[in-house]
């Protein structure tokens, strides 16, 4: 497996260092090759004048997967010179047809994972041609949302592949059926696929889903939903879990095409104010790494070890600022990551 490492902006470099160290360790070095760091995002623009420099694009074409840190604001880059660095991520997804998002949020309190599967191309995530800008005074702005039945079916199939026919907890499909034609299509298609698979699901309107996910009810095992709803709800689930850094994110191309077929990243942003201070929580990057290692039988046992190592290390209470209890001294990114790497190595060598 060849992995292109794109640290990107802000804390992206710091939070991916631990996962890259693990990928390059004796545990995985025979199975995985890491190339990079390759420039992307605001810092890529700063260095090369392009959001996705050609060398980075070439590296992604030659790799199986991308490990990305973050794209967004970076303290070293003038905001006015590069106003929308996020477009580099949208562009990478589009370029390699990474059309489905799978996110795993880990709740340290009970060790359970909530998975969110959504479409990343089509729906609310449209091309530039589907956005009509207003002049801000007199002309209208418009965004076109288009979904096809196969796009919805693919997302549902992937979600049910992950839960199997007997999910251990609730599976919900989220839409705004009462308002949108795309949501009515969504509900019809997801119902059909669930019936074919024999999986019991609940349909929940997005506002109600937001309430339920934010309440004290147990979190569902799986949330299946449209792109923008999933973007919002996955952050909300992170809020329940305790930190935006508790989410690993995969953007995947389930079939066909060429070049990288998946991009793995923590779901959080570039956190410019925390950049360079060795404070950010690298858990999301490790969870993204676990999702990557899940895709190959030869590395699956390491994925399990990573998740168990994260839970073990978080349970010590010696954690980064976002998870540290009041009155305790937080540990830095590097120290926490080193402990996760060491514990993963211990757990994985017992497993193999
Ligand atoms: C995410 C981000 C992206 C998205 C942005 C940066 C385009 O919020 O990955 O959750 O909306 O998908
Ligand atoms: Mn988001």
Q: Tell me, in angstroms, the distance from the centre of ligand 2 to residue 299's CA.
A: 28
Distance 213 CA to ligand 1 centre (A): 20
pLDDT at 324: 97
Nearest CA to ligand 1 atom 4: 231
Shortest-distance Cα residue to atom 9 of ligand 1: 267
**Which ligand sits nearest to residue 288's alpha carbon?**
1
Q: What pLDDT sits at residue 22?
A: 98
* Beta partners for residue 173, in sequence order: 203, 224
Closest ligand, as measured to the CA of 101: 1
Q: Tell me, what's the pLDDT at 351?
A: 64
Query: Mutate which of 10, 90, 269 to test ligand 1's pocket (most atoms within 8 Å of Cβ)?
Result: 90
Q: Where are the domains of the chain?
A: 1-103+245-352, 109-241
Q: Report the topology of domain 1-103+245-352.
A: Isopropylmalate Dehydrogenase (3.40.718)
Which of 13, 50, 16, 8 minimizes the C-alpha distance to 292?
16
- The token pair at 25 is 């360790």
* 20 conformational bin, left if phi > 0, alpha if psi -120 to 50, beta if neither: alpha
Q: Looking at ligand 1, which residue's alpha carbon is closest to its atom 6?
A: 86
> What's the pTM value of the predicted model, to 2 decimals?
0.96
Rounded-to-integer distance, Cα 344 and Cα 22, Å: 9
User: Could you identify the atom of ligand 1 that is nearest to the CA of residue 90?
Assistant: 7
**Per-residue confidence (pLDDT) for residue 129, from 0 to 100:** 87
Q: Which atom of ligand 1 is nearest to the CA of 228?
A: 11
Proximal ligand: closest to the CA of 236: 2
Q: Note the pLDDT of residue 352.
A: 62
Per-residue pLDDT of the chain (352 residues; tens, 9 = 90+): 999 999 999 999 999 999 999 999 999 999 999 999 999 999 999 999 988 899 999 999 999 999 999 999 999 999 898 889 999 998 899 999 999 999 999 999 999 999 999 999 989 988 888 899 999 999 999 999 999 999 999 999 999 999 988 999 999 999 999 999 999 999 999 999 999 999 999 999 999 999 999 999 999 999 999 999 999 999 999 999 999 999 999 999 999 888 899 999 999 999 999 999 999 999 999 999 999 999 999 999 999 999 999 999 999 999 999 999 999 999 999 999 999 999 999 999 886 6
- Give the whole-angstrom CA distance, residue 207 versus residue 169: 21
Ligand lying closest to the C-alpha of residue 227: 1
Among 171, 174, 173, 175, CA closest to 220? 171
Kindly give the number of the ligand 1 atom that is closest to the alpha carbon of 227: 12
Domains 1-103+245-352 and 109-241 belong to one CATH topology: yes
Residue 51 pLDDT? 83
- Using CB distances shorter than 6 Å, the residues near ligand 1 are 86, 89-90, 231, 267
| DSSP-based three-state secondary structure for 41 | helix
The pairs formed by 322-327 with CB atoms below 8 angstroms and a separation of 24 or more are 322/242, 322/243, 322/244, 322/245, 322/281, 323/108, 323/242, 323/243, 323/281
Question: Do 331 and 319 meet the contact criterion of CB atoms below 8 Å apart?
Answer: yes
Q: Which fold has domain 109-241?
A: Isopropylmalate Dehydrogenase (3.40.718)
Residues 6+ apart with CB under 8 A from 21: 337, 341
Specify the pairing of strand 202-205 against strand 142-143: unpaired
């Amino acid at each position: 497996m060849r992995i292109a490492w794109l640290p990107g902006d802000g804390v992206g470099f710091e939070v991916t260092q631990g996962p890259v160290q693990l990928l390059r360790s004796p545990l995985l070095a025979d199975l995985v090759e890491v190339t990079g760091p390759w420039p992307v995002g605001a810092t890529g623009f700063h260095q090369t004048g392009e959001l996705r420099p050609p060398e980075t694009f070439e590296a992604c074409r030659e790799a199986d997967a991308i490990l990305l840190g973050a794209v967004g604001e970076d303290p070293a880059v003038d905001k006015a010179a590069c106003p929308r660095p996020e477009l580099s991520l949208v562009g990478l997804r589009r370029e390699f047809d990474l059309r489905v998002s799978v996110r795993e949020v880990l709740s340290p309190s009970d060790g359970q994972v909530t998975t969110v599967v959504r479409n990343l191309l089509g729906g609310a995530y449209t091309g530039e041609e589907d956005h009509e800008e207003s002049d801000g005074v007199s002309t209208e702005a418009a965004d076109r949302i288009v979904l096809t039945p196969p796009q919805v079916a693919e997302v549902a199939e992937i979600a049910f592949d992950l839960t199997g026919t007997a999910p251990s907890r609730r599976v919900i499909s989220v839409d705004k059926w009462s308002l949108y034609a795309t949501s009515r299509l969504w509900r019809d298609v997801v119902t059909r696929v669930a019936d074919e698979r024999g999986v019991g699901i609940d349909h929940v309107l997005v506002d109600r889903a937001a309430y339920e996910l934010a309440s004290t009810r147990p979190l569902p095992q799986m949330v299946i939903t449209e792109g923008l709803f999933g973007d919002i709800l996955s952050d909300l689930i992170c809020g329940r879990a305790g930190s935006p850094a508790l989410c690993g994110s995969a953007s995947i191309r389930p079939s066909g095409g060429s070049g990288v077929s998946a991009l793995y990243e923590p779901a959080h942003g570039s956190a410019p104010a925390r950049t360079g201070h060795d404070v950010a929580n690298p858990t999301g990057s490790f969870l993204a790494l676990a999702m990557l290692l899940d895709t190959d039988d030869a590395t699956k046992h390491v994925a399990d070890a990573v998740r168990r190592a994260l839970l073990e290390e978080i349970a010590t209470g010696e954690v980064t600022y976002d998870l540290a209890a009041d009155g305790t001294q937080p540990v830095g990114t590097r120290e926490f990551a080193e402990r996760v790497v060491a514990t993963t190595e211990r757990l994985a060598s017992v497993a193999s």
